[in-house]
A = this chain, B = another copy of it.
């Protein structure tokens, strides 16, 4: 029987720019997620500055609790290569010119239409004891050292270079080295309901989950991702992965059946992509008439490549006058019910159909804040309406007091309303 070990990783970032707070470290969360998805754990993270002693202390501390230390940063040509030199020193390694790396760097520069500057010879001078990880998307290669059964990997800090090297070189090697138990993930995407309300609706399902399947709630503004993770716990037979996949898929189907009204997609789709796909499939033109969101929903929709096939345009009508002139809202309606009202958003949605030549529209009017609230209509009150001319459905939400959050939450709720309308779920 094979031995499966729960591999522990420490992530170490090297560079003063992290310590002075100049950049937010998005590398570590990405690496953690990728390792976790493959059944490997991160049990510590740390950051040190660009000095020899800080790097030596940092690596020593990192290795004290982990099997693998993954370092990022400190490899650029302008930084005196302090990381590389310190690693060579720590691993008692000479440095030598690595012609294969230099050729790789030269071909990379050729590809982006430039000539490799002289400093690149230094980039290709590397510790001879390291296994070199070829960087096809930048100039600094990765390095892989081993000592006393532990692995030390050094990667550049530029996010897409780090991501390339992790995906192409580091993760496959780690998976090969530390045979992990089969692990299968499935993610369902929900919108329009909070974590605790979802938890209440699926409590019995969650309680009845077998021990080898875990459910994680991954919340964002107005959305919660539900991730089912199955880990094979018995002897690893040839069909273990197939069996595990079948189990996780079955649990996913159960979960879907419990909250079909909340689920808008799977895995990595965005709500705006899902709405775009439905519009394409139904061959419908969609657009927005926005007051308090000020164009944010149009921006979301048009952030998807190819949106021009189903999104001809939008109107941002911040003033009464624009609501009347561009969306044909009646002055009486505005006068009588106010701009933030069921009546006004319905007229805005109908007006947008005509003005923009749409099959389906969504209209939004609300009080984003911080000013403008009244006892009747406090800050955070938002009316939205979806219409295809035959049917016009309006709903009201009361969000919070933060202007940007109100705008973003409204965007999510409005797109989810459109999705349900298109699918005939409302």
Contact = CB atoms under 8 A, between A and B. Distances in A.
Top 7 closest A-B pairs, CB basis? A294-B302, A21-B32, A295-B295, A295-B298, A21-B29, A314-B316, A46-B46
B295 A314 contact: yes
B49 A36 contact: no
A234 interface: no
Contacts of A322: 312-313, 356-357
- The interface size bin for chain A is 35 or more
A355 B326 CA distance: 8
A413 interface: no
A305 interface: yes
A185 to B, nearest CB: 13
A298 B313 contact: no
11 contacts: A21-B32, A21-B36, A44-B58, A290-B295, A294-B314, A295-B296, A295-B302, A303-B404, A303-B407, A326-B326, A326-B356
Contact of A313 (B21, B307, B319): B319
Contacts of A100: none
A311 B240 CA distance: 61
A404 B303 CA distance: 7
A311 to B, nearest CB: 5
A315 B318 contact: no
Given A294-B303, A316-B316, 20 more contacts: A19-B42, A19-B44, A20-B32, A20-B42, A21-B29, A21-B30, A21-B33, A57-B65, A288-B316, A292-B302, A295-B295, A295-B314, A303-B404, A303-B407, A312-B317, A313-B318, A314-B315, A315-B315, A321-B357, A326-B355
